[in-house]
Amino acid sequence: MKMMTSKLTISMIKEILEREPDEDFVKRLRKDPRKGVQTQLNNYSKRLAKTEEKKILFEKRFSFEKKFWNDGQTYVAGIDEAGRGPLAGPVIAAAVILPHNFDLLEVNDSKQLSAQKRENLYVKILERALAVGVGFADSALIDEINIYQAARSAMKEAVEALTIRPQQLIIDAMQIDTKIPQLKLIKADARSISVAAASIVAKVSRDHLMEYYDSLYPVYDFKDNNGYGTAKHLKALETYGVTPIHRKTFEPIKSQFLN
């Protein structure tokens, strides 16, 4: 027997609508004259429309992977890095191979996501990905070979850390030294789901590491600035000098804080 919607409170109806009700229930709600019910129904319709838009954009960001899959390249790895700009800490790269049925609609360029959203998606990506590899280039290597080459080195290391050898790479704005075919894609983290997933893994991995460094060097506020040159960070450099994780070839460290 179907329950009459008039017997349900507005809060009960809201809860049911949040659980994706069947179409028959929604049809019956449309006949409910209560203003509060119609408000909840309108909110529900807007959520559906927003979700549908997310699905369309998600599918668009999966177009590069699907083309490679259709061409027989089953394992496609997206690659991205985090930490090119900071004054301290490593650059970290990630390589991610996603399954063909991957459906986390919120996966996008990590820079467009809140810290909490990145953390949540990071866990889900690690759970659902076919393979994840992480590469690391510390401040000493950055100073030795420059940040661009260090990022390339970290990306190569991330690919080599994958437990599945990819048949195709999609890389954000650069190429690495490998025999695996690679697509260099400008703004790839916003155009490819695999690269977006890699950007999240790289960013969160680096954030976690900077939290650890903050416990070693608390006066530099690494847990909040992630090594970037904030006022508090620069003040600490002036007072306490550089640490082993600072990039000595980066300005203003190179000209102002080295004796």
Instruction: Answer yes or no: is pLDDT of 1 > 70.
Output: no
* Over residues 71-88, mean pLDDT: 97
| pLDDT (0 to 100) of residue 17 | 83
- Per residue in 61-73, pLDDT (tens digit) is 899 999 999 999 9
| pLDDT (0 to 100) of residue 34 | 85
Nearest 5°: CA angle at 39, between 37 and 43?
A: 115
| Total-model pTM | 0.83
- Per residue in 145-162, pLDDT (tens digit) is 999 999 999 999 999 999
- Per residue in 181-198, pLDDT (tens digit) is 999 999 998 899 999 999
As given in the structure block, the two tokens for residue 234 are: 């620069």
| pLDDT (0 to 100) of residue 3 | 58
Answer yes or no: is 80 a known binding residue: yes
Domains and CATH numbers, the chain: 5-61 (no CATH), 63-203 (3.30.420.10), 213-257 (no CATH)
Instruction: Answer yes or no: is pLDDT of 2 > 60.
Output: no
| pLDDT (0 to 100) of residue 37 | 83
Torsion angles phi and psi, residue 87, rounded to 5 = -85, -15
* Over residues 115-120, mean pLDDT: 94
In the chain, what percentage of residues exceed pLDDT 90?
70
Euclidean distance between CA atoms 26 and 17, whole angstroms: 8
| pLDDT (0 to 100) of residue 5 | 72
Answer yes or no: is 81 a known binding residue: yes
Answer yes or no: is 172 a known binding residue: yes
Are the C-beta atoms of 91 and 147 separated by less than 8 Å?
yes
| pLDDT (0 to 100) of residue 14 | 83
The model's confidence at residue 253, banded by pLDDT at 50, 70 and 90, is very high
* Over residues 116-137, mean pLDDT: 97
Q: Cα separations (Å) of 165 from 99, 196, 243?
A: 14, 19, 37
